[in-house]
Amino acid sequence: MNDTSRFRRFFAYDVCLCALVGCGSNLGMTGGSVPVGAARLAAQVVSSDTSMPVPNAVITVTFGSSSVKTITDGDGRFILPNIAGASYKIAIAPPVGSRLTTAWEWTIPVPDGQHLQLLAELWSNSFDISKVQRVRVQGGDLREHVGEEGRIESHCFDGGNNDLGVHPSLLFTGNFGTLQSNGTIKGLSPGSGTVTAWLNNHTESVNVNVDP
């Protein structure tokens, strides 16, 4: 899929969800409402083992005492457009029989007016996440030019500094590039932001800069 068709697809999806979220609705499902604002969270849910998208995963978004639900599309994607800056608890339940964890849950601070991209990595339900003692982004900060692609290499380690073979989820803050399912960021315009790697409340953040 090229950049133009991807934009058209997300634009159409945004229009649909804006009609729901922007009116304080419940994403067409049971629950409360998401506060309206200028922030945006676009996400893709993938398997940590294969990097393949996870369609039909149930996404629960909780704000205060209210919660709303949506479902990932065929590419494992969902979007929350026009939301207010706040902290949102995102919980992901994969389809029954997927053998993926049902314990993915991250409270994400969304700055007002910012565009965030989330790559949610679901680990196998046989993996013991209590083994994770450290998350590391190899190579440190990322700097590239418009049109270039740079990959965020992230890993999880146990207390003995052994690589556990699972990838943390990634949160990219900034609307100057696209975060892809393999952790690659393509620079679309000059800008600066951050990427945070997360698993089991262990995090590490690095800066991302795109030059002209």
Statement: the pTM of the whole predicted model exceeds 0.75: yes
pLDDT in tens, 190-199: 999 999 999 9
In whole angstroms, what is the distance from residue 191 CA to residue 211 CA? 7
- Other beta carbons within 10 Å of 76: 22
pLDDT in tens, 157-179: 999 999 999 999 999 999 899 99
pLDDT of residue 31: 53
pLDDT of residue 194: 96
pLDDT of residue 172: 97
- Give the mean model confidence (pLDDT) for residues 93-106: 96
Question: Which band of pLDDT confidence, cut at 50, 70 and 90, is reported for residue 22?
Answer: very low
Show the domains of the chain with their CATH numbers: 3-113 (2.60.40.10), 129-211 (2.60.40.10)
Q: Which two tokens stand for residue 169?
A: 């989820």
Query: 3 versus 167: which is more confidently predicted?
Result: 167
pLDDT of residue 65: 86
In whole angstroms, what is the distance from residue 204 CA to residue 206 CA? 7
Question: Using an 8 Å Cβ cutoff, are 95 and 54 in contact?
Answer: yes
* Among candidate residues 31, 128, 133, 153, the one with its CA nearest the CA of residue 88: 31
- Give the mean model confidence (pLDDT) for residues 204-212: 97
